[in-house]
Amino acid sequence: MKFQSFKTYAEMSKAAAEIVAGVVKAKPDCVLGLATGSSPIGTYDELVRMHKEEGLSFARCTSVNLDEYRGLPGTHPQSYRYFMDEHLFTRVDIPRERTFVPNGTAADPDVECAMYDERIKRLGGTDVQILGIGPDGHIGFNEPADEFTDETHLVDLDPSTIEANARFFDSAADVPRQALTMGMGGIMSAKKIVLVASGAAKKAVLDAAMNGPVTPKLPASILQKHPDVVVLYAEA
């Protein structure tokens, strides 16, 4: 795993966007693996700027997102579909019908998860996967567990994740208790992975993920087994 540190969030975001833009330019019909959370917002802003000012086009790209809260429709402001529409999809030229986010309101989540994996497989995996990291080391919504799960699956959110994500809702009671998340198979299928994280609070979990043992108790540690991961960290 490569590690690059930046003084500011803006510099980190620019570096992440340059990596993604490089993939898009080299392969205009690439598959983008996308993440939500506050960490990649600056990356998306920079990609939007490149689209508007430099003509970077996503017209032939496909995207697959990592996860979605169970029970939230895409029209809910805290749903990850809504987040992606707001921060990226409606601001660039990616065709909406080629942007995929797990359906949080699917009647049968297991069927939805199986279909999602089938789609990732058909696409041949992602060309580049953007990741954030949760305070407990989760990626997507792969929470600390006894074993790694390869498939897209329904997951019970950790109390610490509910608490960490409560800032986006009126109260912790409003945070959905479950989510659909791409599993480690989908994430590790990426040809290239860019993890963005900022602030002192993330430093210890990042160090453990990069340098500690590979264990499902710290889900991001699995990235040590991937041949092309870059961790971009901003101090502030």
Instruction: Please count the CA atoms within 13 angstroms of the CA of 36 that sit on its side-chain side.
Output: 25
CB of 92 vs ligand GLP, minimal distance in Å: 20
CB of 221 vs ligand GLP, minimal distance in Å: 15
Contact 194/183 with Cβ under 8 angstroms? no
Q: Which of 20, 34, 56, 66 binds ligand GLP (CB under 6 A)?
A: 66
Binding mask 114-153 for ligand GLP (x = CB under 6 A): ------------------xxx-----xx------------
Closer of 13 and 36 to ligand GLP (Cβ): 36
Residues 6+ apart with CB under 8 A from 99: 62, 63, 65, 84, 89
CA-nearest of 127, 158, 111 to 166 is 158
Q: How many residues make contact with ligand GLP (CB under 6 A)? A: 14
Q: Which stretch binds ligand GLP (CB under 6 A): 31-39, 56-64, 107-115, 226-234?
A: 31-39
Q: Which of 13, 62, 103, 161 binds ligand GLP (CB under 6 A)?
A: 161
Q: What share of the chain is helix, strand, coil (3-state, %, to 5)?
A: 40, 20, 40
**Neighbouring-strand partners of residue 3:** 231
Separation CA 120–CA 123 (nearest Å): 5
Catalytic residues: 67, 136, 138, 143
**Neighbouring-strand partners of residue 233:** 5, 197
Q: Which of 63, 103, 165, 189 binds ligand GLP (CB under 6 A)?
A: 165
Binding mask 33-62 for ligand GLP (x = CB under 6 A): --xxxxx-----------------------
Check binding of 231 to ligand GLP (CB under 6 A).
Answer: no
Closer of 60 and 82 to ligand GLP (Cβ): 82
Separation CA 80–CA 35 (nearest Å): 9
Q: What is the DSSP letter of 203?
A: H
Separation CA 88–CA 153 (nearest Å): 25
CB of 140 vs ligand GLP, minimal distance in Å: 5
Residues near ligand GLP (CB under 6 A) are 35-39, 66-67, 132-134, 140-141, 161, 165
